[in-house]
A = this chain, B = another copy of it.
Amino acid sequence: MTFEDVEAAARRIAGAARVTPVLTSRTLDDRLRARVFLKCESFQRAGAFKFRGAYNAITRLSEADRRRGILAYSSGNHAQAVALASRLLGAAATVVMPVDAPAAKRKATEGYGARVVAYDPAHEDREEVARRLQAEGDPVLIPPFDHPDVVAGQGTSALELFGETGALDLLLVPCGGGGLLSGSALAAKRLSPGCRVIGVEPETADDATRSFRTGTLQTVRNPRTIADGARTASLGRITFPLVRALVDDMVTVSDDDILRAMRFLWERMKLVVEPTGALGLAAAWRGALDVAGRRVGVIVSGGNVDLGTAADLLRGLPPED
């Protein structure tokens, strides 16, 4: 994959995806002694960057393939993204979710017109569900990260960011399956060759960090972290080599680090951001990374979070010292 794939994706999603705002804060800059640019994918359609990749992938299908319908497995932001992108492109979408997925996420996905198929991971396996759905009309699977068109689409956020800020010293990117991170690195290495691209993971879900360091694909299993978008088991067949080749470093942060960054984003910057979306800022916030004197881009990846849950989490956090 190359930068040209990201550029082509940007042309395809133009007009459908939102060019999200880049926000800055003098308070934040003073606190980090840096110049920080927050690329706010929380304002992307369906509330997260995922729409970019889903839309790019579905536009590339042939008319005949689109008529087969679209299939996704997700209880998270990919579900809503595929549902909305499918509707906009006139394809029927089916989203497979575990039965215990939050009702709000199921409702939002259905709100975008998708059929939600619930399955019980304790009694059924996904392959069985897939076979059943395949028999119904052989829909086209859109994976959440490990697909070239998805990676290229996710890279358009960083492409927009560099277009607005020019060269940066650092780019901090949340990492789950590595789609956003790979795409961002493809954009950064062309548009700002001196920029160090850093992936950020929760410390309990540090599979990509270990994979990056060892050169061998590592996994995690149901890690406990509030950053639900980064609980992914491992990098993928496509994203692992891209991360190895293009990413400069990986860092991990604790759930408390995430919450402190999230509190700043909500209270001071007035942004509703989900825990996964605060990963990048968290790496700079608590000193996991030295950003002093640098121009720092941060991808704020999404804002889909239950408000009550988020408020409860923030209430449990001691006041800033």
Instruction: Give the CA-CA distance A267 to B80 in the complex, in Å.
Output: 14
Closest chain-B Cβ to A315's Cβ sits at a distance in Å of: 5
**Are B307 and A308 interface neighbours, CB within 8 A?**
no
- Which residues of B are found within 8 Å of A268, using beta-carbon distances? 47
Interface residues of A in 44-72 (CB under 8 A from B): 45, 47
Which of B21, B266, B267, B307 contacts A21 (CB under 8 A)? B21
Which of B23, B45, B308 contacts A43 (CB under 8 A)? B23
Interface-facing stretch out of A131-139, A186-194, A242-250, A270-278: A270-278
**Are A270 and B303 interface neighbours, CB within 8 A?**
yes
- Which residues of B are found within 8 Å of A45, using beta-carbon distances? 26
Instruction: Give the CA-CA distance A26 to B267 in the complex, in Å.
Output: 26
Residue of B nearest to A315 (CB): B308
Asked if A94 is an interface residue, CB under 8 A from chain B, the answer is no
Instruction: Give the CA-CA distance A42 to B272 in the complex, in Å.
Output: 12
Which of B21, B269, B311 contacts A311 (CB under 8 A)? B311
Closest chain-B Cβ to A99's Cβ sits at a distance in Å of: 21
- Which residues of B are found within 8 Å of A267, using beta-carbon distances? 272, 307
**Are A42 and B270 interface neighbours, CB within 8 A?**
yes
Encoded as 1 (CB less than 8 Å from any B CB) or 0, chain A from 84 to 102 comes to: 0000000000000000000
Instruction: Give the CA-CA distance A267 to B312 in the complex, in Å.
Output: 16
Asked if A34 is an interface residue, CB under 8 A from chain B, the answer is no
Instruction: Give the CA-CA distance A294 to B311 in the complex, in Å.
Output: 36
Asked if A314 is an interface residue, CB under 8 A from chain B, the answer is yes
Asked if A217 is an interface residue, CB under 8 A from chain B, the answer is no
Closest chain-B Cβ to A319's Cβ sits at a distance in Å of: 9
**What are 21 A-to-B residue pairs whose CB atoms are below 8 Å?**
A21-B21, A21-B23, A23-B43, A42-B270, A43-B269, A266-B307, A267-B272, A267-B307, A270-B271, A270-B273, A270-B303, A271-B271, A271-B272, A307-B310, A307-B311, A307-B314, A308-B311, A308-B314, A308-B315, A310-B311, A311-B312
